Structure 1
Amino acid sequence: MVEAILWDNDGVLVDTEGLFFQSTRETLGKAGIELTFEQFLDISMRQGRSAFQLAAGCGWTTEQIADLKLERDRLYTEMLQQQTRVLLGVFETLRALHGRVRMVVVTSSQREHFEVMHAGTQLTDFFEFVLAREDFKETKPNPEPYLLALERLGLEAERCIAIEDSERGLAAARAAGLRCLVIPNDVTRNCNFQGATAVLPSAAEVLAALTAL
């Protein structure tokens, strides 16, 4: 058994990737800018960049884009308050692993959004700490978030494993020297997860996958 598990949040613990796409698409749409699902997958889920770069390409100023992001964040927060749900097998798996292995969250979400998501999930007590977007300079696929988590844990990468749902998350974990289990969701199901330690259908299979390492 590994000594620590570094969990991603969106699309792994809670079903929020689709809400983020929907809120971003609606906000850009009101500004007359189309965001397709394929563009979102490439820009956000693969490259780890902001879909609002499409607005920059249409001549929007930095200040105007900042206002668009604030509007998206407001809409996204409303959606999270109403529609966040814990994904299949997550609670049971966390409960089974709690006390047996150290667990932390490494997420690209803003901390405010993370707290809204988990206001009623009862998941956060399972984790030693949470690293959110404000805690690092570069986000996934850059390895910085995972390297910072390893530093705080005081563990070498080979003694840990990450759990992700996206290409950018897998790339970040691998660049940090971590093995990585991938649990695709409805948004990332058709992505390329070459290099993953294993690709699992749900969090319910995590314990068996860890035992097999």
Structure 2
Amino acid sequence: MKAFVLFDHDGVLVDTEAWYFKACERALAEVGVTLDEDRYRRNMTQGGEAWRQAREAGVDEATIDRLRAVRDEYYQEHLRTEAIEIEGVVETLAELAKHVRMAIVTTSRRADFEVIHEHRHIRGFMDFVLVREDYGRSKPHPEPYLTGLQRLGATKEATLVVEDSSRGLQSAVAAGIDCAVVHNDFTQGQDFAQASHRIASLSELKDIILAG
């Protein structure tokens, strides 16, 4: 049986991946760059794909820095106005809380995370949350999940990571932790060969956790 669960956030607990892309797309459109969604999806595991495409289109670094701030404004607008709930998440967390301790390990910035959870109840099930500002090296480096283990006082063997991207999966594998990958339309074409489990929804986690 697993005693601890470390959740990724975007695409696992809230449906935000596509809206982040839309924010990048809107920002780049302001300088006449059309963001290639297929390429973005293929390469999002590396991070920074939107800006890579911008540079290839001849956009200078000062403009890219400005567009990052524009992207952030658009993203928070989407977070406040779009339906980003994933059906059954709160109910599943309430059930899992009877059996395990849980935390969130996300690459989200603190400002975005706070907007998302201003009127939601997910944080109440968690021992703590680690956002991008809380560790030095981001996924796919193992540091985020190793930091989560340390904060929980957990062993790798007793812990399960829940992810939706190959970037997050690589982070969990590098940290030596079993990882369940939950289906997400936006990341479904990525390589999940190293996953310990593939699940269609979080409701399947209870059986995995109790089986160990």
Helix, strand or coil for the counterpart of 1:104? strand
Residue 84 of structure 1 deviates from its aligned partner by 4.0
More moved, 54-63 vs 85-94? 54-63
1:88 maps to which residue?
87
Hey, what's the Cα distance between the residues in 1 that align with 2:155 and 2:6? 12
Output the amino acid matched with 1:35. Answer: L
2:2 counterpart residue number: 2
Distance change >3 Å, CA 197–CA 107, structure 1 → 2: same
Q: Count the aligned residue pairs.
A: 212
> Residues 62-77 of structure 1 correspond to what in structure 2 (within 5 A)?
62-77=61-76
**TM-score, normalised relative to structure 2:** 0.94
Whether contact under 8 Å (2:139, 2:168) holds in the other structure is yes
Partner SS state of residue 188, structure 2: coil
- Counterparts in 2 of 1:134-213, with a 5 A limit? 134-213=133-212
Runs of 5+ consecutive residues of structure 1 not aligned to the other structure = none
CA contact (8 A) 1:88 1:202 kept: no
Aligned partners of 1:9 and 1:105 also within 8 Å: yes
1:113 positional shift: 0.5
Q: Using the alignment, how far apart are the partners of 1:49 and 1:140 within structure 2? A: 13
Superposition map of 1:51-62 within 5 A? 51-62=50-61
Contact in 2 for aligned 1:14/1:84 (Cα 8 Å) = no
Q: Is the 8 A contact 2:7 2:104 kept in 1?
A: yes
SS in structure 2 of the partner of residue 51 of structure 1: helix
Please give the secondary structure, in 2, of the residue aligned with 1:188: coil
Following TM superposition, by how much is the alpha carbon of 1:49 offset from its aligned partner in structure 2, in angstroms?
3.4
Q: Could you say which residue in structure 1 is the equivalent of 2:127?
A: 128
Q: Name the SS for the 2:102 alignment partner.
A: strand
Partner Cα separation in structure 2 for residue 189 and residue 145 of structure 1:
23
1:19 matches 2:19: yes
Larger displacement relative to structure 2 (74-83 or 115-124): 115-124
How far is 1:70 from its partner?
0.3
SS of structure 2 residue aligned to 1:161: strand
Q: Could you tell me how far 1:75 is from its partner in structure 2?
A: 0.5
Worse-matched range after superposition: 123-132 or 34-43: 34-43
Query: Retained in 1: the 8 A contact 2:6–2:105?
Result: yes
- Counterparts of 1:190 and 1:89, CA distance in 2: 23
Aligned equivalents of 1:142, 1:22: Cα separation in 2: 26
Task: Say which SS state the counterpart of residue 69 (structure 1) adopts.
Answer: helix
Unaligned runs of 5+ in 2: none
- Secondary structure of the residue aligned to 1:64 is helix
Q: Which amino acid aligns with 2:36?
A: T
- Aligned to 2:103, what secondary structure does the other structure show? strand
Please name the residue that 2:41 is paired with.
41
Distance 2:139 2:26 in 1: 24
SS at match of 1:77: helix
Runs of 4+ in 1 over 6 A off after TM superposition: none
CA deviations 1:127-157 (Å, max 9, x no partner) are 0111011112221111111111112112221
Alpha-carbon distance in 2 for matches of 1:35, 1:138? 26
Identity %: 39
How many angstroms apart in 2 are the aligned matches of 1:50 and 1:105?
24
Q: Which moved more, 1:186-195 or 1:4-13?
A: 186-195
* Counterpart secondary structure, 1:103: strand
CA distance in 1, matches of 2:175, 2:49: 22
